[in-house]
Structure 1
């Protein structure tokens, strides 16, 4: 049994720098109340909740939702690194599609600390041990923070194979800033040029400057998903449907290929995207708008190829020709992406859902992609998991 699943309500609060915003319970409650109000229902009609966060104690999801109500429903806490928010959405959609529930909340939040990401539990093996070992063998540079080595190394592999220029990554960041200028929820809304990106402090000579990396932020986002019967009975919106969705984890290529692009999930993303295209009966060229996981400009570039938006080795031309923005083939990250919004790990996947829902509703204001009918979401977490979701305007 598989039923149609609709996104009937979305909510998102502006992301902030660490230490500036509210505690996680208040952020999460605000995003949830927005999603409920957008759907036009009360919390009493929500039958299950999947709550995603990475840096927090167990049952923080309950603590957050108890601010909204204590209805006794199942609340499942989700942690899948940077794909946590979309994993919560995956589980919520699955519950509705299977008939286990008719109305489910997916919520993601993160209260982050400044600086590079790091391990919390130092007294046990890290889930990144294999990834760290592969990265050390392939790129070295132990003085550079690991996240930069992961994704910078992936970008470097593309540069070495295809002659991709550092300026191409700067073009991605400049494009993100132009899009974010029209997004009141983005943290960084100042437009920067390619030259300004290249002239920011160097993080890895010849590979990355500071503006090519997303900042840690705090925030929350939420979505209400429901069945068609529930939406009809309660008068909820049915204009955005989840047409297909897939979640994948690492395969042998992650380490056996000896390629940093594989270490950061290229094949994992490709497999999820291919499953979605096949299930939906479409080609990548049919997609109108994409929110993808641009934690670094380098990951945006290689994700174009993983998602089939351009052929292998074709990402630089895709970018230089402007096919990744308004007036091109497919608008990528109209929200400004992680590079401009920031990346509160648990909230990111649901922030992408928020943006694409508004795009398909035609309510994205100055960011609106004209005539958007199919929207693709790509959310990646190292360690690893990738969720790709296709939304359809109904």
Structure 2
């Protein structure tokens, strides 16, 4: 990659519960328009678009963008499970950084239904078959529990058994998420809860209770990515640059380590983060704000260690010391995260991007973290893919 890629504009719609949603094409078009307006650029100048969603028919990306403009540009539809939004961003950034285009749009949306995630097809091999086979010796399958909760609940239980982590620590993460979401008008769940309420909510699997699990959510988010020259020529804000980015997929360690944490992406996370830190020269100690993939409270705790925010085995101490929130070492998920902001699969990675761009611009309002010049994003999809992105505020 020979040149920098800048996030010139972001946009998103308030996330909602499925019964309150608009159609995916309405949400997607709105988020795209907001990102373009935020950037101050006409859609006619966008040269490629990457559109992410998980639950939708092919070419839904075109259906969402055609109301924005019929310009004939390439529209690439992207599906990478829960990392779909960041995968679209990865492709847009790559197109700009490689010199293939000057300006690209990344858009993600999801129109979900009530209830736990489910497989779309029962007449063919599941993409999770290899994961199920690896997990089988480590834990029993519960036909009544959502499949994702079994993976991440098992990973949380693994951390408890290895390091003595208490269930209440996972509850504390859920409480923190609600506190942060209280200041986010885009979040679904802004009412406050206590650790006792989280622990008393219905058991799901392993240490997980319902309030430790992200809700099914609908929404959309988008980002305009461009070169520095393009921004200068068109008078755009180029103050937020992608300093480094990495996407990883599974290696043999996922399936051979006999560790549920690795089944759910610990090694993907650690590898992507290491690549970003090496490429940028930035260390975890330099970070003050992180948006990470807290689909379950257990995964937030595991991800602290995967990203190197705290040494392996020390995440409980990190939480109890308040180092994961305002006044601590690094504010994690100031948006409220997936647990409270919501998790519309295709939109999540780009909603994380929007939050961090606002943080770097100093426009996050009551959620603003002081002194932010660097921001890290982590977006994980079982099956599997992980995207870690480091943003930096530079002189405009």
TM over 0.5: yes
Question: In structure 2, what is the equivalent of residue 157 of structure 1?
Answer: 158
Partners of 2:294 and 2:129 lie apart in 1 by 23
Spell out the pairing of 1:1-394 with structure 2 (5 A cutoff): 1-143=1-143, 144-204=145-205, 207-394=207-394
Partner SS, residue 137 of structure 1: coil
For 1:10, what is the secondary structure of its paired residue?
A: strand
Q: Give the whole-Å Cα distance in 2 for the aligned partners of 1:128 and 1:199.
A: 31
**Cα deviation code 1:250-307 (max 9, x no counterpart):** 0001110011000001001000000000000011110110000000000000000000
Question: d(CA) in 1 for partners of 2:216 and 2:137?
Answer: 27
May I ask how many residue pairs the two structures share in their alignment?
393
Aligned counterparts of 2:159 and 2:68: Cα–Cα separation in 1: 47
Deviation at 1:238, TM superposition (A): 0.9
TM-score for both structures, normalised by structure 1: 0.99
Tell me the distance in 1 between the aligned counterparts of 2:196 and 2:239.
Answer: 41
Compute the displacement of 1:134 (Å): 2.2
Q: Once the 2 structures are TM-superposed, how far is the Cα of residue 139 of structure 1 from its aligned partner?
A: 1.1
Structure 2 gap segments, 5+ residues each: none
Q: How much does 1:126 deviate?
A: 0.7
Tell me how far 1:9 sits from its aligned partner: 0.3
> Residue 250 of structure 1 aligns to a residue in which SS?
coil
Cα RMSD after superposing both structures: 0.8
Separation in 1, partners of 2:134, 2:188? 34
Take 2:360 and 2:69, find their aligned partners in 1: how far apart are those partners?
30
Do the aligned residues in 2 keep the contact of 1:167 with 1:198 (CA within 8 Å)?
yes
Q: Secondary structure at the match of 1:138?
A: coil
The Cα offsets for residues 120-167 of structure 1, whole Å up to 9 and x where unpaired, read as: 111111101011222232111423221111000000000000000000
Deviation at 1:344, TM superposition (A): 0.5
Describe the superposition over 1:168-224 as per-residue Cα deviations: whole angstroms up to 9, x where unpaired.
Answer: 00000000011000001000001111111111112236x111100001101000000
Cα contact 2:134–2:256 (8 A) shared by 1: no
Partner of 2:18: helix, strand, or coil?
A: coil
- Unpaired runs of 5+ residues, structure 1, are none
**The residue matched to 2:224 in structure 1 has which SS?**
strand
* Residues 27-59 of structure 1, C-alpha deviations (whole Å, 9 max, x = no match): 000000000000011111111000000011111
Contact 2:81 2:346 in 1 (8 A): yes
**Residue pair 1:135, 1:149 contacting (<8 A) in 2 also:** no
Cα contact 1:380–1:387 (8 A) shared by 2: yes
Structure 1 residue runs of 4 or more that deviate by more than 4 Å after TM superposition: none
The DSSP-based 3-state class of the residue aligned with 1:348 is: helix
